[in-house]
Amino acid sequence: MGGQDDYEIGRELGRGNFGRTHLARHLPTGALVAVKTIERGERCDRNAERECLNQRALSGLSPFVVSFREIFLTPTHLCIAMEFCSGGEVFARVARSGRLPEREARRLWRQLVAGVGACHEQGVCHRDLKLENALLDDSADPPTLKIADFGYSKSLAAAESDPRSRVGTPAYIAPEILHCSGRPGDEGYDGRAADVWSLGVFLFVLVAGCYPFEDPGRPRDVVEVVRRILAARYAFPPGLRVSPGCADLVARILVADPRRRLSLAAVRAHPWFLGVGTAAGDGDGAGGGGAADPLPPEIAEEPRAAVARHLARPPVQGMQTEEEIRALLAEARRGPGRGVGVEGGGGGGGGGRVVVARASSAGAGGGGGGK
Ligand SMILES: Nc1ncnc2c1ncn2[C@@H]1O[C@H](COP(=O)(O)OP(=O)(O)O)[C@@H](O)[C@H]1O
Ligand SMILES: [Mg+2]
């Protein structure tokens, strides 16, 4: 089992609401990894614990979910060591080009759907799917999408209640979550269906380069965003050519009533996802083309079969147990300890033509405790 002495911490890769993520070298193996740091003390709460446990439970189950390595403590931080995704956020990829050609959008979105399928199959809903939390591994060509940031994730296992609290990122949040009071006794919502909603928003942003529920004239008007989400009222930008198949899929996902929304299985059976029946114009003149675009085998495999295949492999040697992780979390919660702290690295950089503004994560109020 490793510890902080095993890592040399480098530049900052990115930061969100809960912590900073640094590039690091795992000294015993020389491998580059990403290390997410969360301040010790009250930030190492039950949500941080869930993040660690859920990421551990999912590790190695899908090529489209960031692999977990281990957690360790520095005197100041809880650190989650994981697979490094060298291609950065999908957000930056879209911001660079404004939007993606439909075929490229489909390639990445299929991987996202496959990754979410594995999470749901393992009983975990992500609850904060967005372009900033989808990373690219560009060690492969073309790059592979990997789902990251399980900070809002929730286990659907019997031991945990239905999701009840209002978490997520406003631009991606499902209507039923906004309806949810967050109080005990509230019926809660189906975390899987809420993830599917976010998948719909994600697809929209990929092909349109803007958010579906924002008033272009007043993008910061959150009240208007919420009003539009509740009514599932969105429109593609005028003049944007989206194929009928893609528009149909988005329309069947962005349905306010979660019982009438496509399930993940139905998404996987939709003609645009399958890349069949696209002669009616699968394309936006930017690379969509009218040609069929068959599912690659790793996407065609049903999530249940894919997860079962991965579970059948021998477990990773030396993987921390749940108990070990819980014990480290408990220690982190007590506040700063001894040892050497994580140094801040250089800035994350960025640049490029940002068309969509980053969606700020926030608990949408209510709820209070108990994500
Ligand atoms: N495994 C990784 N590889 C490369 N970059 C990462 C990795 N994990 C996180 N990052 C970068 O750090 C940012 C913040 O990490 P994230 O887990 O989303 O934290 P938060 O919970 O604070 O949003 C990400 O949006 C991404 O830019
Ligand atoms: Mg994040």
Per the structure block, which two tokens stand in for 184? 């005990």
Residue bearing the CA closest to ligand 1, atom 20: 16
Nearest CA to 107 among 183, 206, 242, 179? 206
Cβ of residue 37 lying under 6 Å from some atom of ligand 1 = no
The mean pLDDT value of the chain amounts to 86
Q: Which of 2-11, 69-78, 229-238 has the lowest mean pLDDT?
A: 2-11
Q: For residue 148, which ligand has an atom nearest its CA?
A: 1
CA end-to-end span of the chain, whole Å?
30
Q: Which residue has the higher pLDDT, 341 or 165?
A: 165
SS3 24: strand
Q: How many CB atoms lie within 10 A of CB 315?
A: 8
User: Which contacts of 289-294 are long-range, i.e. CB under 8 A and separated by 24 or more positions?
Assistant: 289/103, 293/103, 293/106
Residue 188, pLDDT score: 83
Residue 219, pLDDT score: 82
Q: How many CB atoms lie within 10 A of CB 277?
A: 12
What is the 360 CA–ligand 1 centroid distance (Å)? 14
Q: What is the pTM of this model?
A: 0.89
Query: 109 pLDDT exceeds 80?
Result: yes
Q: For residue 146, which ligand has an atom nearest its CA?
A: 1
Calculate the alpha carbon distances from 195 to 98, 186, 262, 339 in Å.
24, 19, 11, 40
54 close to 155: Cβ distance less than 8 angstroms: yes
Rounded to whole angstroms, the Cα distance separating 148 from 132 reads: 9
Cα dihedral 74→76→80→81 (10° resolution): -40
- For the stretch 208-242, pLDDT in tens is 999 999 988 888 899 999 999 999 999 999 999 99
Q: Is 53 exposed, middle or buried (0-12, 13-18, 19+ CB in 10 A)?
A: buried
Rounded to whole angstroms, the Cα distance separating 312 from 75 reads: 38
Residue 290, pLDDT score: 54
Cβ of residue 36 lying under 6 Å from some atom of ligand 1 = yes
Rounded to whole angstroms, the Cα distance separating 270 from 262 reads: 9
Q: For residue 16, which ligand has an atom nearest its CA?
A: 1
Query: 4 pLDDT exceeds 70?
Result: yes
Query: 15 pLDDT exceeds 60?
Result: yes
The label of the residue with tokens 């795992």 reads 26
Cβ of residue 360 lying under 6 Å from some atom of ligand 1 = no
With residue 108 as reference, give the H or E element that holds it: helix 102-121
Rounded to whole angstroms, the Cα distance separating 77 from 245 reads: 47
Residue 250 has what DSSP assignment? Answer: H
Q: Which residue has the higher pLDDT, 188 or 49?
A: 49
What is the 289 CA–ligand 1 centroid distance (Å)? 33
Residue 93, pLDDT score: 96
CB neighbour list of residue 185: distance below 8 Å, 6 or more residues apart: none
Cβ of residue 182 lying under 6 Å from some atom of ligand 1 = no
Cβ of residue 21 lying under 6 Å from some atom of ligand 1 = yes
The label of the residue with tokens 């499902």 reads 174
The β-bridge partners of 79 are 37, 72
What is the 146 CA–ligand 2 centroid distance (Å)? 13
Active site residue 128: yes
Which percentage of the chain shows pLDDT scores above 70?
85
Per the structure block, which two tokens stand in for 220? 């910061």
